[in-house]
Amino acid sequence: MDRRSRLAVAVLAVLVTVTGCTLPSFAPEGSDQPARAESGTSVPGSAEPGTAQWRPCPEVPQDLVGRTAPGMTYQCATVQVPEDWAKPDAGKKYDISMIRIRSGKQKASERIGSLLLNPGGPGGSGVDLAVYLTFGEKLGGLPTEITDRFDIVGFDPRGINRSSPVKCIDAKDQDASFAADPDPVSQAEFDTVAALTKKIADGCTKKYGEDLSDFATEQAARDVDALRAAVGDEKLTYLGYSYGTLLGATYAQLFPQNVRALVLDGAVDPTETFTQGSEQQAKGFERAFTNFTKWCTTEPSRCPIAPDARGAVTDALAKAETSPVRGPDGRDATAGWVFLGLISSLYTESGWADLANAIDDLRTGDATGIFELADQYAEREPDGTYSNLFDANLTVNCVDNQKAPGVAEIRRLQGEWRSKYPLFGAPMAVGMLPCAYWGGGRDPYPAGEAKGAPPILVVGTTGDPATPYENTADLANMLGVGQVLTWEGEGHTAYPSTTCIKDAVDRYLLDLKMPPEGLRCPPK
């Protein structure tokens, strides 16, 4: 099937990239660093009000989906921002790409403003997300109540996709990284993975040098204020998923007076260290996988690897280390590719059946399903090329973190976490290697209160693998003005998954009315 016609799959693919991750595995952001500026004070480089020069761009949804959404118009603009907001008149400029999608049903007298979107990553495209989410609720998109009152504005943050993209990882090295053993046990195996990781990190440093620090989250948050001004909004209304919660929280600390409403769905905890965040994610994926195995026992007709799903996945990983199945394009489904497919499938409950079928197919010598899951997550094209998702992801994660553990510490944690989190602990530890070798600049984000900001809604999912539910209250408490909304569901992020979640978030976005304190929405 033509990929552009598979809209529902495309929406899932965008949301699947919503995670904090580093090569070759997946560890979220974290920082030891205190906030560098008092919230509510003036900051260098605050954006002055301006306007964007919009042009029609129906070719964007045509390219992504193969058609435009009924009743929607598409306009694009590019806003230039300084290399360093502390020195706005010096250095080069970066181009930030935006798309504005407006419903034909919108009435000027009822329009509230713009809703800015960020899908996370770091590395996900907000332009793509805006397109997908405006195809309607039946395909998992935004409710008409929202699209009738807001312009939907997606943007690609600096260094990502259409916005002066960072590109420093060769496709062959990317393939090798994903194919590598996610848990190299022997020292020789570990050294092989470490050498490849160092090659990738060194390549980015060699290409960009100290300019890498330009892609820090704090710089991107200041860009957001420039976008707010460019679309003509006095105050920001924002929906951020996963890493997008970190971007939104950073914005709230820097520009609390410019906040109208922030929905932060799938919280990153800015107060965690890089190591703490990685361990939390190992715990989250282990919990999500356990939930998957329980589902298998209750739905054996949909889970061909029941009743022992954990055993089947563990066996598949072990066999892939010694005798990987050859995929339809000639790649071997090594343990690394199998693990990547496993990670991908846990982002939504609907992915569980795909995982079960893919693991079952491996037993009969068919790797098609596992590669579909892995390639969807990695944004790998059939011709072997990649988007710059992981180039940007590596860069932002490492720039944001002042203190990453060293190689020896990572090796120690690999064994320790393997015991605590059997499938995901060791890979999450190994996933911290790129930042151990990082030679570019560092520029950690602030982690403090958003003094003077209005109430901010922080949404958490109890079964979230990538941004574990425990982060939700931590982020809300750090901001000082956050309130938690809970979805007792599975998968990564919540809005607009159920009527309960949708109604609560919509009322906040539309009327600035917070849901009842402590509201917990059921799974369905």
* Residue in 225, 492, 497, 506 annotated catalytic: 492
H or E stretch at 239: strand 236-241
CA-only gyration radius of the chain, Å: 22
* Residue in 31, 114, 242, 278 annotated catalytic: 242
Catalytic residue list contains 350: no
User: How many angstroms separate the Cα of 186 from the Cα of each of 61, 263, 414, 415, 428?
Assistant: 48, 45, 12, 11, 17
At position 510, the amino acid (one-letter code) is: L
Catalytic residue list contains 242: yes
3-state class (DSSP) for residue 275: helix
3-state SS string over 326-367? ECCCCCEECHHHHHHHHHHHCCCCCHHHHHHHHHHHHHCCCC
At position 349, the amino acid (one-letter code) is: E
Query: Cα–Cα distance between 461 and 442 in angstroms, integer?
Result: 31
Q: How far apart are the first and last CA of the chain?
A: 30
Angle at 97 between CA 114 and CA 150, to 5 degrees: 15
Of 349, 373, 338, 340, the C-alpha closest to 291 is 349
Question: DSSP characters for 427-483?
Answer: HHHHTTHHHHS--S---PPP-S--TT---EEEEEEEE-SSS-THHHHHHHHHHSSEE
At position 369, the amino acid (one-letter code) is: G
Catalytic residue list contains 492: yes
Residue 43, Cα to own-chain centre: how many angstroms?
Answer: 27
For residue 100, the cross-strand partners are 75, 153
Residues that are catalytic: 242, 464, 492
